Amino acid sequence: MAAVSTRNLNNPAQGWINGFVGMLIFSGSLPATRVAVLEFDPIFLTAIRATIAGFLAIGALLMIKQQLPQRHEILPLIFVALGVVIGFPLLTAFALQHTTSAHSLVYIGLLPLATACFGVIRGGERPKPAFWLFSLLGSLCVGSFALSQGSGSSWLGDVLMIAAVLLCGLGYAEGAVLTRKLGGWQVISWALAIALPLTTAVTVFSAPSIWPIVSRSAWIALAYVSLFSMWLGFIFWYRGLAQGGIAAVGQLQLLQPFFGLALAGLILHETVQLSMLAVMAGVLVCVFGAKKFS
């Protein structure tokens, strides 16, 4: 496959714009999933959102006549699919049956750190010792917050969110590396295409035999997570990473919990506790420090 044009990638200003748009789109993912999962089964919701996005992605790939990925790129694309197409949406959908979107957004502050950790594993990077110190402090902040919570969350919801963040970090790390070779939107499109046979089959078998009455807000939420969270957001995000640099534009992800909390409060009328803001502030400091010494 032909390499991505250097001229298209070397545009830091445009990269920050694309990355910011992608981050804003992702900020609405958990609140929208919270609305949808109240009326749709989590497995069905995960499958149908990926199926809808998968058919859109294949249409775009065929329309622009993209060449097939090379053999050595298939396994990384499978990791992307497992992380961001299947793993993260499914685990967050289950988690949001046990916790609020406001509570779960605290864990999203760990995504840049998880991505960096998988960068060490998959990319062979060697961070400085201070990196691991900040990593430990960030984990302790989140763990202490989870332990201090009462009825607003559950252990199951916390565990599911941690697993979701780990899988998403893997998907982001693999996608960031592939972006340099395939291009921004092609990475998520091929990942969706690879997962499409599985997600289509699961959609068919998990669909309710008798459709319940689904509210308009649930349908809107399903449309959002299918079109924006599952596909369009990644087009902006991966293109931003390619244009402005993975390390630089990736910092925008640190803003996602704050925008997500604002949406959870405005749209879902969920209570945003001061402790959540304090924990996220501590996590952000730790992630910034980890990034600096990575």
What mean pLDDT is predicted for residues 274-285? 76
Model pLDDT, residue 271: 67
More confident residue, 22 or 134: 22
Per-residue pLDDT of 217-247, as tens digits, reads 889 999 999 999 999 998 888 888 777 766 6
Q: What is the pTM of this model?
A: 0.79
Query: How does the average pLDDT of the chain come out, rounded?
Result: 80
Confidence of residue 9 (pLDDT cuts 50, 70, 90): low
Residue 20 has what pLDDT? 87
Q: What is the pLDDT of residues 33-55, one digit of tens each?
A: 888 888 888 899 989 999 999 99
Q: What percent of the chain has pLDDT over 90?
A: 24
Count of H helices and E strands in the chain?
A: 16, 0
Element (H, E) at 246: helix 246-249
Q: Return the pLDDT at 54.
A: 95
Say whether pLDDT at 170 is over 60. Answer: yes
Residues 62-77 have a mean pLDDT of: 89
Amino acid sitting at position 119: G
Q: Which residue has the higher pLDDT, 188 or 185?
A: 188
- In SS3 terms, 175-221 reads as HHHHHHHHCHHHHHHHHHHHHHHHHHHHHHHHCCCCCCCCCHHHHHH
Q: At what angle do helices 155-182 and 101-108 cross, to 10 degrees?
A: 50
